[in-house]
Amino acid sequence: MHLWRSGLIIAFIGVLGISGCHYSLAAAQGSDSAEKQVRRLVNDPLPAGVKRDEAAVLYKPDNLYEYIDGGADIYLLYDFQRLLHQNLKSGDGELTVDIYDMGKAENGFGMYAAERSPRYTFIRLGVEGYRGEGTLNFVQGRYYVKLAATGAKAGAGLEPMARMLSRRIGGTAQAPALLAKLPGENRVAHSEQFVRRDPLGHAFLAPAYVVGYAWAGKGESKLVVSVAEDAARAKARLDQFARHFKQSGECAPAADLGENGIRGKNSFEGRVIARTQGRYLIALLNPPEQGAEILKRTAQGLQ
């Protein structure tokens, strides 16, 4: 091999090595920064009556199962980054703080929504929060926060601790912006979800937002907004959705519904109407009589 070629190859490998080192260093620095951010949330001072019991423990994707064996998989589906677990003393009992860093606000909301029910007792905290017997959970930004109290008078520390964490997280406590664009009338309160994998059991619909709607004496409907990269991919998703209903029941074009509209039904999913709007596939399961108007209003909101 000519000397100049050898030198060129060595130089090229050197550039790759340097670039790789820079990338690895940047990734490590980003991880360190995120870890410091979550650790500072439980720094002193703590609320009155709450004291540190022991050092915080950090869990990452490769060992989350050690803390929530059997429950880790769904967190990993939502791109879980790290968990800060802190045991505290409150009154004569214990207060446990678990702060799940989900990387992005939409993933934090999605994980929180996957574990909450519209029947819970909700409080104004972060984007949304709820209380139970000895528990208080809320979501804010990229963090899903879960607090649990056990023992005499420990519950008194739940809300002060939660509100302190909310202040330290800071930022604008808002649900994913797309949810505000969907119809508000007849919406089931606290039914909103962000589904990262297999919405309605279909991988090709991911990711998607799902919201419940209720109609007096007519049951409930589910509005699904599947988010694709562009209009062509949204159309491809709708075509696959239509094929599914044709194979499992029936499906036909429905021009009255708007862009690429379809109507379908099968024995296990029931009736569905759907269309596209730019990069979105919009579907309404168990649609009411005014279902076409709901699709239209949803599409207008997403323009």
Region of 15 on the Ramachandran plot (φ > 0 left; ψ -120 to 50 alpha; else beta): alpha
Residues 210/199, Cβ–Cβ less than 8 Å: yes
Confidence class for position 200, pLDDT limits 50, 70, 90: very high
- Written as one string, the DSSP assignment of 171-185 is S-----GGGGGS--T
Please check whether residue 257 is in contact with residue 273, taking contact to mean a CB–CB distance below 8 angstroms: yes
Give me the residues paired with residue 123 across strands: 129
Residue with tokens 């993933």: 107
13-65: pLDDT as tens digits? 343 454 455 545 555 556 789 999 999 999 999 999 999 989 999 999 999 99
Find the mean pLDDT for residues 269-283.
98
Kindly indicate the confidence band of residue 5, based on its pLDDT and cuts at 50, 70 and 90.
Answer: very low
Mean pLDDT for the chain overall: 91
Q: Is the pLDDT of residue 8 over 90?
A: no
Domain boundaries, the chain: 38-169, 177-301
Token pair, residue 39, equals 């650790």
Instruction: Looking at the structure, give the CATH architecture of the domain made up of residues 38-169.
Output: 3-Layer(aba) Sandwich (3.40)
Cα dist from 303 to 183, 210, 211, whole Å = 13, 18, 19
What integer pLDDT is reported at residue 14 of this predicted model? 45
What would the mean pLDDT of 151-163 be, rounded to a whole number?
93
Pick the CATH number of 177-301 from 3.40.50.2300, 3.40.630.30, 3.20.20.70, 3.40.1000.20: 3.40.1000.20
Instruction: Please report the pLDDT score of residue 103 as a whole number.
Output: 96
Calculate mean pLDDT across residues 268-277. Answer: 97
Residue-level pLDDT at 20 = 53
Distance CA 111, CA 102 (A): 8
pLDDT at 30 (0 to 100):
62
| pLDDT tens, position by position, 63-90 | 999 999 889 999 999 999 999 999 999 9
Percent residues over pLDDT 70 in the chain: 90
The tens digit of pLDDT for each residue in 113-126 reads 999 998 899 999 99
Task: Please count the other Cβ atoms lying within 10 Å of the Cβ belonging to residue 28.
Answer: 10
Cβ-contact 87, 53 below 8 angstroms? yes
Could you tell me the pLDDT band of residue 190, with boundaries at 50, 70 and 90? very high
Q: 103-112 pLDDT, tens per residue?
A: 999 999 999 9
Tell me what pLDDT residue 11 has: 39
Q: What angle do CA 143, 145, 106 make, to 5 degrees?
A: 35
Question: Kind of pairing, strands 50-52 and 143-150?
Answer: unpaired
